[in-house]
Amino acid sequence: MKDEFDTALPSIRHVQTLIKQVSIVELKVLTGDILTGRISWQDQNCLCLLDDNNQPMIIWRHAIAYLKPKT
């Protein structure tokens, strides 16, 4: 069975809000690296983070420790 992208999930809706608001986020991956940028898009497996130079990084969801808006 194929994984469906469930837009009713609170986590998906929250990331969509961050995308719409063009929020800068801090994203920590399981290696301990902390990345900052804007989320460009998401799907059921990945999200795309744009860095300060608008360079895209594809990040697998299972590699994310946390994601939060940068204040």
Q: Read off the pLDDT of residues 9-60 as tens digits, 9 standing for 90 and up.
A: 999 999 999 999 999 999 999 999 999 999 999 999 999 999 999 999 999 9
What is the domain count for the chain? 1
For position 65, which CATH number holds? 2.30.30.100
Output phi, psi for 53, to 5 deg: -100, 15
- The reply to whether 42 falls in a domain is yes
- Dist CA 28 CA 47 (whole Å): 13
- The reply to whether 1 falls in a domain is no
What is the residue range of 28's domain?
10-69
Pick 5 or 59 by higher pLDDT: 59
pTM above 0.85, yes or no: yes
